[in-house]
Structure 1
Amino acid sequence: MTLELDHVAVLGETLEEAAAHAEAALGCPMLPGGVHPRYGTHNRLLGLGEGLYIEAIAIDPAAPPPDHARWFGLDDFSGPARLDKWVCHVPDMTKALEALPMAGTPVQLARGNLRWLMAVPEDGHLPYDGLFPALIEWQSPVPPGSALPAAGPRLERLIVAHPEAEALEALLAPHLDAPLVSFETAPRPGLRAELTTPHGRRVLQ
């Protein structure tokens, strides 16, 4: 059972703030995404090539609030937009959750031609202050990372910083196959993506 990097997510109090934060950092416009009725959220996307992409996501003010916690801890998100989540795809969600039950419970989701399983904790909050990777199993032949046009930026490194980074790295090490991901012990949790773009080297955090 392996975890491979699928995408990273910029959260915002509004989708406009989340998208603007990513666009300002990378110098590229985000593309339209869609809505997620089960969680009352909506998104925009940006292809990074090599099967990777960036998602800007926020609560959709036009959607009725769900009767359960939203994913990615969005119910409690506040402050400036920021790179806040990383998502890994797995070939078999059942086996993934046997190995890493703290990732949540599987939820079947669909939008247009896309079908996927997502592991979501009951309270919406991932472990390690939200820096445990969200797990996804794509059930569509062409996931977004492969379907989105490459916009120019390329991910060079994703740094997962946390006071307990060593423990998180050790927990994931038997399963994680993501050479671009590194772990860094730091007093405050956070993500930092280092990318090359047509405008030079950029950092998204």
Structure 2
Amino acid sequence: MSTTRFDHLVVAAANVSAGVDYLERQLGVRLPKGGEHPRMGTHNHLMRLSANSFVEVIAIDPDAAPPSRPRWFGLDDPHVRASLAASPRLLTWAVNTPQLEALALGEVPLGRIEPMSRGALNWDITVAADGSLAAGGLLPAVLQWHCDTHPAERMQDLGCRLTRLTLYHPRADWLAACLQRLGAAELARVEPLADSEDAWLEAELETPLGRRVLSSRVPQRPAAV
């Protein structure tokens, strides 16, 4: 039986206030403040999805010292930053496991294990050396919490629940095989795309506004007439 569990959705924004406003429009709830990540120069707001899962809005912290390495979730990538300047969006997802080292040493390209903290909370997480998103965000970040209970238990419950996570990718068989190796095959549905299409993911949630979908798809600008 797999010990890999869905952990959280990562929604990013050019600044954290824009991200909170965006999710309020999309989901009908306003996420409370989380805290700061000193090693990455970021901060977040958080909301519980279940007793062991949550959604976070993350952004570069303008008051933090720049980190000595690229920030996680591709937040230093010029293309990611340009897209977030246009609109906040779902970037990626994360899973947790008590066997992080074994998974990180496997065949799936996850990056290196990095120790992280936020206040008194500590965990290890996989991050690429250049900070880039694994498979453009479709492969999850993998983490291992160092706490007795999942942090989501202490987050505010605003009535939102994740009902489905779908990954769209031109190499759907490869992506499904990677998830199988991570023990995460049952956590998301994988759908194929044409070779010419860009990969993206979407999360379906039940919210106070009803069914809502968050997407990593970058909106296409209308062609000039």
The residue that corresponds to 1:190 in the other structure is 200
Return closer, same or farther for 1:15/1:126 CA change in 2, 3 Å cut-off: same
The residue that corresponds to 1:69 in the other structure is 70
The residue that corresponds to 2:109 in the other structure is 102
Return closer, same or farther for 1:75/1:64 CA change in 2, 3 Å cut-off: same
Q: Percent identity?
A: 38
Letter in 2 for 1:64: A
Give the drift of 1:34: 0.5
1:105-131 deviations in Å (ceiling 9; x for gaps): 111122223110011110011331232
Q: Greater strand share, 1 or 2?
A: 1
Return closer, same or farther for 1:101/1:128 CA change in 2, 3 Å cut-off: closer
- What SS class does the counterpart of residue 183 from structure 2 fall into? coil
The residue that corresponds to 1:13 in the other structure is 14
- What SS class does the counterpart of residue 94 from structure 1 fall into? helix
Q: What 5-or-longer segments of structure 2 have no aligned partner?
A: 216-225
The root-mean-square deviation of aligned C-alpha atoms, in Å, is: 1.7
1:9-65 deviations in Å (ceiling 9; x for gaps): 001111112222222111011011111111110100111124111000011111111
2:155 to 140, 143, 148: 148
The residue that corresponds to 2:180 in the other structure is 173
Letter in 1 for 2:42: T
Aligned residues: 205
CA contact (8 A) 1:156 1:180 kept: no
Mapping for residues 3-152 of structure 1, pairs under 5 Å = 3-76=4-77, 77-78=80-81, 79=83, 80-100=87-107, 102-152=109-159
Return closer, same or farther for 1:156/1:57 CA change in 2, 3 Å cut-off: same
Give distance in 2, aligned partners of 1:177 and 1:50.
19
Give distance in 2, aligned partners of 1:69 and 1:98.
22
1:103-161 deviations in Å (ceiling 9; x for gaps): 11111122223110011110011331232110110011123222213210111001112
CA contact (8 A) 2:94 2:142 kept: yes
- What SS class does the counterpart of residue 76 from structure 2 fall into? helix
